[in-house]
Amino acid sequence: MITGPQVRAARALLGIDQKTLAELAGLSVPTIQRMEASHANVRGVVDSLTRVVAALELAGVELIADGAASTAGGRGVRLKTPPPGP
């Protein structure tokens, strides 16, 4: 699955706005906004999620699942699990 923060981060890495991502994925801007507003896994129509993931990957972003290894190479960033609170 993909999370709202992942979508926002992927857009930032690509330097594109929500409108551009919507165009690349063939979706509406409000759909992208709803996806990005999610704090956890994005819920919605599977076809829409698939389109966003495909658009981001085609544009050059590798989406890495929690605990998965990145095998594609290249530079990037990964959000670490925050340390346990006091």
CATH number of the domain where residue 16 is located: 1.10.260.40
- What's the pLDDT at 15? 95
Residue 48 is assigned to a structural domain of this protein: yes
Residue 82 is assigned to a structural domain of this protein: no
Q: Which helix (H) or strand (E) holds 48?
A: helix 46-59
Q: Which helix (H) or strand (E) holds 37?
A: helix 29-37
Residue 78 Cα to chain centre, angstroms: 12
Model confidence at 58: pLDDT above 90 = yes
- 46 or 81: which leads in pLDDT: 46
Residue 51 is assigned to a structural domain of this protein: yes
Residue 84 is assigned to a structural domain of this protein: no
- Cα angle, residue 63 at apex, residues 47 and 61 outer, rounded to 5°: 100
- Cα angle, residue 42 at apex, residues 76 and 1 outer, rounded to 5°: 60
Give mean pLDDT, residues 61-68: 82
Model confidence at 64: pLDDT above 90 = no
Q: What is the pTM of this model?
A: 0.83
